Amino acid sequence: MLNKHLSNKIETIVPVIGELPSKADFEAYERVRASGETNMFDVGMVEMLSGLSRKEIIAVMKNYAALDNKYPTVRKS
């Protein structure tokens, strides 16, 4: 219950832009970011490495803080 309560509080603090991307999208984006293989602003390369579409990548970028708060273990793994 406490975790759900905190999650709801965090979502009110960190604005979500558009629809929040899925956990799987965030994980794919994070794998590329953590690998250090490319500059994350090179969206074409991130597309190739992650399998995400340009639209999905931009959605993750815009909502990075909200995703990191919602799925804190993704960035840590």
Query: How do residues 15-35 score in pLDDT, each as one tens digit?
Result: 677 789 999 999 999 999 999
Over the chain, what is the mean pLDDT? 86
User: What's residue 16's pLDDT?
Assistant: 72
Higher pLDDT, 61 or 10: 61
Range of the domain at 66: 2-76
Residue 1: pLDDT band (50, 70, 90) is very low
CB 23 within 8 A of CB 77: no
CB 60 within 8 A of CB 67: yes
In the 3-class helix/strand/coil scheme, how is 20-52 assigned residue by residue? CCCHHHHHHHHHHHHHCCCCCCCHHHHHHHHCC
Measured CA to CA, the distance from residue 70 to residue 17 in angstroms comes to 14
- Provide mean pLDDT across the span 39-64: 96
User: What's residue 14's pLDDT?
Assistant: 62
User: What's residue 76's pLDDT?
Assistant: 75
Could you give the number of structural domains in the chain? 1
